[in-house]
A and B are shown apart, each in its own frame.
Chain A
């Protein structure tokens, strides 16, 4: 259900470890430390509002230069699942 339509970007630096970067973003939304985020646990388990989770697509666009569907976090509900998808898109 999720698709990307552009992958071009000139001003962004892609973090080497997308999963760690994503965990950092999620942690900031939850006001907690990235180390406490289990990369294989659905974000909803942390109580993250499913609509609020849509905001992640903005961070992804800014940092990775990838335009993704807002529902990315619904289709790939864990940090690792999202990172795997994004890695494939960048490659």
Chain B
């Protein structure tokens, strides 16, 4: 079936052309050369500016073209599937502006919207060299003056800090600090006295080498009172809410990297012959590809439901974002590492296979699990939610079934985004978790009439048992949030797997009828519960409760994968023709 969120992506593909065509500005060859030179992708970004990609960074209510967040994800995925570096370099502006979408007055948000639409790159300056991810330890200060504020201190490892025309800065406005001691400022460099700020040099990196990973130092920089986003003291709140959006959108980078790596490996396997035998004649090689595809479909399903949840289950994004940002990058890292073993020596060679893109995509993608809240930060975020998730499960709080349906039915139009509905806490728990028993029962009822669904029913039951195990484990954990014990992180990993599994089951349940009605190359994945059974196999294996899917399901996945790659379609649950499509 087709997925409506690909409409903009398809237009962008038409503009960018076949990445295998060396004459194209955004070709694999050009990106490899830039990477060799640690060069910023200036020309490619100019093409994206020509497409006015930045209109997708500005919500429609503030003057932009961002209506559905899922569209931004799938469009950015097209950038990332060509080069993660470019996606990081260009997409950063959404992160720079997001504090305004969640925390500013309408007038101020519209002003920031106009800045973004003007093509100005905006960066998001949260971290500092001495404090890492500990935002409340930040030492950059904004001190009140008669007419505004005075900024002092240094932000470091900031994407686009040097190239950006504006920097959204988290600064301490109360000497004592604390959760109300920080505020966010939109600092336009052109309005500053040049003597009061200076760039901290770009760091050379092992991945996303062309990106401007640098810093900025302020020394008595004077900014106006109207540069404060929202009210004083709301900095942490707006950053945490903004992160709920950006962490979910990060899945676009992983999906694109996964598409790229899976495409290279599949083409390589199809063409590789040794001693008169093709690599794909080896069952182990086919199984490795099919397993990687299962991981990729798992990541895609979680991303689709996660990005639709932004509008469908807005108040639950604190838990959904943490799950997406934990699961999708880590699964994709694992998938690429596994494919590297198939590609073998060529994954390390610069000039032999597709301009050395396999090695590059693996290096580039490593950033995704590190930035915007690394894996441990996201797991810690889930640990913080243990009390409310357990309480709502024990109270049998009713899940938001309308929200689930909207998030998981991809043919259903989404309600307009209401940023004010973002909440630091999922007050009524996680609907996906609360609705899991009902979803499992639904699968069991379908399986009672259709033997082909028996493996999915088995996997769904195993998922429910795993979730019961998570609740039992949370009860056993000491209630000591000061020093989070290692066991809590392990339980959080299992919880994330359960929530991801619950979300993807919903996607299959709510969308399968439409998927089966509109046939295409991806249809076999939707029949007999093939893809959810495979995805649950991968998830359950990762949390120590293996529930293997039938080999026939892996064979089906392999056939769809080779058909999609062979015809220039996206490696996906959906049918989406790429610029290089042959038929």
Binding site for B on A (CB under 8 A): 1, 28-31, 42, 44, 46-55, 57-58, 61-62, 67, 70-71, 74-75, 77
B556 proximal to A (CB < 8 A): no
7 further A-B pairs in the complex, CB-CB below 8 A; given A28-B479, A55-B425, A57-B427? A31-B479, A48-B481, A49-B384, A49-B481, A52-B481, A58-B388, A71-B424
Alpha-carbon gap, A28 to B391, bound state (A): 15
State the interface size on chain B (CB cutoff 8 A).
26
Q: Judging by beta carbons under 8 Å apart, are B387 and A51 in contact?
A: no
Q: Judging by beta carbons under 8 Å apart, are B481 and A70 in contact?
A: no
Tell me which residues across on chain B come within 8 A of A46, comparing CB atoms. Answer: 482
Tell me which residues across on chain A come within 8 A of B387, comparing CB atoms. Answer: 55, 58
B480 proximal to A (CB < 8 A): yes
Q: List 13 A-B contacts (CB under 8 A).
A: A28-B479, A29-B479, A29-B481, A48-B481, A49-B384, A50-B136, A52-B384, A58-B387, A58-B391, A67-B427, A74-B180, A74-B237, A77-B180
Q: Judging by beta carbons under 8 Å apart, are B180 and A44 in contact?
A: no
Alpha-carbon gap, A49 to B488, bound state (A): 15
Alpha-carbon gap, A5 to B396, bound state (A): 23
Tell me which residues across on chain B come within 8 A of A62, comparing CB atoms. Answer: 391
Tell me which residues across on chain B come within 8 A of A74, comparing CB atoms. Answer: 178-180, 236-237
Tell me which residues across on chain B come within 8 A of A29, comparing CB atoms. Answer: 479, 481
Q: Closest approach, in angstroms, between the C-beta of B309 and any C-beta of chain A?
A: 19
Q: Closest approach, in angstroms, between the C-beta of A51 and any C-beta of chain B?
A: 5
Binding site for A on B (CB under 8 A): 136, 178-180, 231, 233-234, 236-237, 240, 381, 384-385, 387-388, 391, 423-425, 427, 478-483
Q: Judging by beta carbons under 8 Å apart, are A70 and B423 in contact?
A: yes
Q: Closest approach, in angstroms, between the C-beta of B136 and any C-beta of chain A?
A: 7
Q: Closest approach, in angstroms, between the C-beta of A75 and any C-beta of chain B?
A: 7
Q: Closest approach, in angstroms, between the C-beta of A50 and any C-beta of chain B?
A: 4
Query: Which residue in chain B gives the minimum CB-CB distance to A62?
Result: B391
Q: Judging by beta carbons under 8 Å apart, are A55 and B388 in contact?
A: yes
Q: Closest approach, in angstroms, between the C-beta of A85 and any C-beta of chain B?
A: 14
Dominant secondary structure of chain B at its interface with chain A:
loop
A31 touches which of B136, B388, B480 (Cβ 8 Å): B480
Alpha-carbon gap, A53 to B384, bound state (A): 9
Tell me which residues across on chain B come within 8 A of A42, comparing CB atoms. Answer: 178
- Given A30-B480, A48-B482, A55 contacting B384 (CB threshold 8 A): yes
- Given A1-B234, A58-B387, A62-B391, A51 contacting B482 (CB threshold 8 A): no
Alpha-carbon gap, A1 to B424, bound state (A): 14
Q: Closest approach, in angstroms, between the C-beta of A25 and any C-beta of chain B?
A: 10
Query: Which residue in chain B gives the minimum CB-CB distance to A55?
Result: B387
Tell me which residues across on chain A come within 8 A of B233, comparing CB atoms. Answer: 1
Alpha-carbon gap, A71 to B423, bound state (A): 10
Q: Judging by beta carbons under 8 Å apart, are A44 and B178 in contact?
A: yes
Q: Judging by beta carbons under 8 Å apart, are B425 and A70 in contact?
A: yes
Q: Judging by beta carbons under 8 Å apart, are B479 and A51 in contact?
A: no
Tell me which residues across on chain A come within 8 A of B136, comparing CB atoms. Answer: 50
Tell me which residues across on chain A come within 8 A of B381, comparing CB atoms. Answer: 51
Alpha-carbon gap, A60 to B231, bound state (A): 26
Q: Closest approach, in angstroms, between the C-beta of A55 and any C-beta of chain B?
A: 4
Tell me which residues across on chain B come within 8 A of A47, comparing CB atoms. Answer: 482-483
Interface-central residue, A29, A54, A75, by most chain B CB under 10 Å: A54
Q: Closest approach, in angstroms, between the C-beta of B376 and any C-beta of chain A?
A: 14
Q: Closest approach, in angstroms, between the C-beta of A45 and any C-beta of chain B?
A: 10
Closest 9 CB pairs of A and B: A47-B482, A70-B425, A74-B179, A52-B481, A50-B179, A55-B387, A51-B384, A31-B480, A70-B424
Tell me which residues across on chain A come within 8 A of B178, comparing CB atoms. Answer: 42, 44, 50, 74, 77
- Given A30-B480, A31-B479, A57-B425, A51 contacting B240 (CB threshold 8 A): yes
